[in-house]
Chain A
């Protein structure tokens, strides 16, 4: 059977917007186009009603109250608001002084968490970057051991974007609540794929994005706990006082409607989708690992999202692997394509050698991925690796029993 090319297996980067989401959004461009901030006419009221309906849809997916949802432009903004906003609100000393408080995060967080943390370091906060285990996990024990008297914020992602590994969020949340420390989680890859209950899981602040869950780009949300404890934030973006002052700016009504619809669909279809994606991922991993030697599936074997596979191929280089599989859209663990020769900092954080990190693929499936696509991709990847290994001097050496880590390479 002929298969349409190219095949999209990069759903952890972004997803196709579900046509049902697009359909829900369309009237809010040309018909119900009012500004929800317009309190004195029906155009404004209709837009406000749509926004509040979407807020409920998002809250329902998270097990939250509607009033705890702040709409943003995406998870990057949500992370910035949560981390900088909480640090500023709970600082132990005024701006310009040192000793403002301690923050705990992890080495393999997304840049949208790491970079705000680095900025806070320059502004008088101290930050601990936890090293994940070899399985990619951050455990409650690791967080507990890093806790200090002056810890004000813990920010640990729910699931890692490159590996799909799932951190011990409920346990970390419980620990933070016992210690009275604010707990933020970047749940961009988790929400919509896995059941979420901010109450049960002790989350204070949660970032999420629309376009990772078949919604539109440019819209996301931040959950901000209102009860037990009430979490306060200093606003980052100031102006008209929208979103109860947490986030000024005219609301992106079509985007918000789309985000709400995307959440509703995820809630309804999550259980079936999760099973289907898990079966696809297992099929992919098995198909590849059973046909090639010196391959490694990165991250914890079980504690992983159903749709993300991260696989390292020994003795082949990532960019040439992407070139050999160019009709399949995936992410490379090598950043060679972006003109920097640094391999993935996430894989490095796990202690995976540069040689393997150079030849890793992140393959992420989604709602629109078919079994035939996964089979085709696995065949192509196996063919490509075999082709490149014929070319690889390192694979020859490996087969001749030479340990390539013992050779004196001239780094250039």
Chain B
């Protein structure tokens, strides 16, 4: 399969690879939200971590991805886009924007869907850890 230039760029130079600690450490940290989506038997697992400051802004984001080049590129791109956003702004990232930015072919759309799922899961995890209801995200 031929990949687009942007997929290859993200694949060869992935942005923001890493974690904010081990699984156990992350679980204990209230300022970090984790999204772990996909399944090994489907060939895609994405782990997206966001670090949120007191103002509710995503200061940093890191990812790890087991998956094809498009999955790696989608999650790498998601970390770039998340940095500096508020939680609500993070939720505005849609898979279709990822498809467009990376020129993903139809067979790879599921990679972008997974990235969106990972974003939502990471934000939901942060909110759950901090007792923030989805309606009151901005009520501080």
A positions within 8 Å CB-CB of B: 315-320, 323, 334, 336-337, 339, 341, 343, 353-355, 358, 390-397, 400, 402, 404, 409-412
Please provide the chain B residues from 20 to 70 with a CB less than 8 Å away from any CB of chain A in the complex.
Answer: 22-24, 36-47, 64-69
Cβ A391 vs Cβ B64 within 8 A: yes
Cβ A412 vs Cβ B41 within 8 A: no
Cβ A409 vs Cβ B22 within 8 A: no
Contact among A354, A393, A402 for B45, CB-based, below 8 A:
A393
Nearest neighbor of B23 in chain A, beta-carbon distance: A400
A319 with B43, Cβ < 8 A, contacts A390-B17, A397-B23 known? yes
Nearest neighbor of B105 in chain A, beta-carbon distance: A339
Contact among B1, B11, B40, B117 for A409, CB-based, below 8 A:
B40
> Which residues of chain A come closer than 8 Å to B19, judged between CB atoms?
396
Nearest neighbor of B65 in chain A, beta-carbon distance: A391
Cβ B17 vs Cβ A358 within 8 A: no
> Which residues of chain A come closer than 8 Å to B72, judged between CB atoms?
320, 391
Q: How far is the CA of A411 from the CA of B41 in the complex (A)?
A: 8
Cβ A394 vs Cβ B40 within 8 A: yes
Cβ B41 vs Cβ A355 within 8 A: yes
B positions within 8 Å CB-CB of A: 1, 3, 11, 14, 17, 19, 22-24, 36-47, 64-69, 71-72, 107, 110, 113-114, 117
Q: How far is the CA of A322 from the CA of B36 in the complex (A)?
A: 24
User: Is chain B's interface secondary structure helix, strand, loop, or mixed overall?
Assistant: mixed
* B51 → A minimal CB distance (Å): 17
Contact among B22, B24, B44 for A317, CB-based, below 8 A:
B44
Cβ A396 vs Cβ B40 within 8 A: no
Contact among A318, A323, A409 for B38, CB-based, below 8 A:
A409
- Could you jot down 5 A-B contacts, CB within 8 Å? A323-B68, A391-B14, A393-B47, A404-B40, A412-B113
* A320 → B minimal CB distance (Å): 5
Q: How far is the CA of A353 from the CA of B23 in the complex (A)?
A: 24
> Which residues of chain B come closer than 8 Å to A400, judged between CB atoms?
22-24
> Which residues of chain A come closer than 8 Å to B22, judged between CB atoms?
396, 400
Cβ B114 vs Cβ A412 within 8 A: yes
Nearest neighbor of B110 in chain A, beta-carbon distance: A412
> Which residues of chain B come closer than 8 Å to A319, judged between CB atoms?
1, 43, 68-69
> Which residues of chain A come closer than 8 Å to B114, judged between CB atoms?
412
Cβ A402 vs Cβ B23 within 8 A: yes
Cβ B65 vs Cβ A358 within 8 A: no
Cβ A409 vs Cβ B41 within 8 A: yes
Cβ B38 vs Cβ A317 within 8 A: no
Cβ A409 vs Cβ B69 within 8 A: no
Q: How far is the CA of A317 from the CA of B3 in the complex (A)?
A: 16
> Which residues of chain A come closer than 8 Å to B3, judged between CB atoms?
323
Q: How far is the CA of A355 from the CA of B22 in the complex (A)?
A: 22
Contact among B1, B64, B107 for A393, CB-based, below 8 A:
B64
Interface centre among A315, A337, A393, A394 (most CB of B within 10 A): A393
4 more CB-based (< 8 A) A-B contacts, given A317-B67, A409-B41? A318-B43, A334-B43, A396-B19, A412-B37
* B92 → A minimal CB distance (Å): 22
Cβ B43 vs Cβ A317 within 8 A: yes
Cβ A341 vs Cβ B42 within 8 A: yes
Q: How far is the CA of A339 from the CA of B67 in the complex (A)?
A: 14
> Which residues of chain A come closer than 8 Å to B14, judged between CB atoms?
391
A320 with B40, Cβ < 8 A, contacts A393-B47, A400-B22 known? no
